[in-house]
Amino acid sequence: MTTMQASNQTPRWERLRSYLSRSGSLYLMLIPAIIFLAIFHYYPMYGVVIAFQKFNPGLGFDKSPWVGWYNFEYLFAIPDLWDILRNTLVIAISKIVLLQVAALVLALALNEVRSIFFKRAIQITIYLPHFLSWVVLGGILIDMLGSRGLMSSIFRSFGFDPIMFLGSNETFVPTLVITNLWKEVGWSTIIFLAALTGIDPTLHEAAAIDGASRWQRILNVNIPGIASTIILITCLNLGGILNAGFEQILTLYSPAVYQTGDILDTYVYRAGLISAQYSLAGAIGLLKSVMGLILVVTAYWLADKFSGYRIY
């Protein structure tokens, strides 16, 4: 009996030892990431308990008094949450729709350019704003849209009164949408351009022989040819409808436009880090994180279902 056990155990130990000598270093390599993710991602996830507490920084996550759903009951009772949720969705969805339509049109137009030099020159120019921060672009916009800026000069030279684009609730959201387009539209063409290069050239040749014009080929060869990419991008965008552009809005907004421009992220920032209402801000943040998780998972699921897209 004892000899049987020993003979059973030795190979198992041997197997484990040989497995560890082969693969042990793989675990070693992951240790730094496991630790850093634990500290800076998972510990803050545990920190969402502040949404159910009256959080006191002196007492920390563990000892602050619990208040149950009080913070959420308070939030659902005041109008702020619904206003900022509406603003967030309006801004984010307007941005996504306009950006993707414009990027598609721009990519189709760029794809028709035969001169490589001209194409490269246009690309290098329109990609540039993507690489600049919202502070740099915001600084430029604040100057350009200000009373002494270029836009005001243009308005005056046509005999109109200058419009304070960043200062009124009527113009603030359109300004956000258009300036976001300026920053990202060039960059957003890349995925469509990559898809366009994948279209079989014989389809174009066949269409040309059949007498199709440039327009007809764009509409009937190029657009169907990249339809799967368009569907994929549409699915993935769903994951972003709660991200209305925190850094852009934080740079450009002011109390005068809170009515239309205040979003979940800016509200959390002000309530939490400016007014130190940690629990209230934490509760909104948790709501956003949970809704965001559902949206992103749904987006990836749809992308897999319709386009076979998987991130790994």
Partner 1 sequence: MIESRSWSNRLFNILNHSLLFLFAFLCVLPLWNVFSVSLSGRAAADGGFVSLFPVNFTIDNYTEIFRAGVVYQAFWISVQRTVIGTFLNLVLVVLTAYPLSKTVKEFKGRNALMGYVLFAMLFSGGLIPWFLVINQLGLINSLWALILPGIVPIWNVILMMNFFRDVPQELDEAAVIDGASHWQKLWYIYLPISIPALATITLFAAVGHWNSWFDGMVLMSNNTQYPLQTFLRTVVVEQNIQSLGIDMSVMEQISNRAVKAATIFVSTVPILLVYPFLQRYFITGIKLGSVKG
Q: Which stretch binds partner 1 (CB under 8 A): 7-15, 80-88, 166-174, 279-287?
A: 279-287
SS3 content of the chain, % helix, strand, coil (to 5): 80, 0, 20
Binding to partner 1 (CB under 8 A) within 70-99 occurs at none
3-state secondary structure of 277: coil
Smaller CB separation from partner 1, 95 or 183: 183
Round to whole Å and give the CA distance between 230 and 189.
11
Does 257 sit near partner 1 (CB under 8 A)?
A: no
Binding to partner 1 (CB under 8 A) within 175-194 occurs at 182, 186, 190-191, 194
Amino acid identity of residue 156, one-letter, is R
Binding-site member from 1, 6, 33, 77 for partner 1 (CB under 8 A)? 33
Tokens 């258009």 locate to 178
Residue 122 corresponds to which tokens in the numbers above? 């246009």
Q: Which stretch binds partner 1 (CB under 8 A): 2-10, 78-86, 163-171, 245-253?
A: 245-253
Round to whole Å and give the CA distance between 263 and 95.
14
Smaller CB separation from partner 1, 5 or 297: 297
Residue 305 corresponds to which tokens in the numbers above? 């279902």
Sign of CA dihedral 15, 16, 17, 22: positive
Smaller CB separation from partner 1, 91 or 195: 195
Does 113 sit near partner 1 (CB under 8 A)?
A: yes
Does 153 sit near partner 1 (CB under 8 A)?
A: yes
Smaller CB separation from partner 1, 5 or 163: 163
Smaller CB separation from partner 1, 87 or 189: 189
Bridge partner residues of 53 (DSSP)? 66
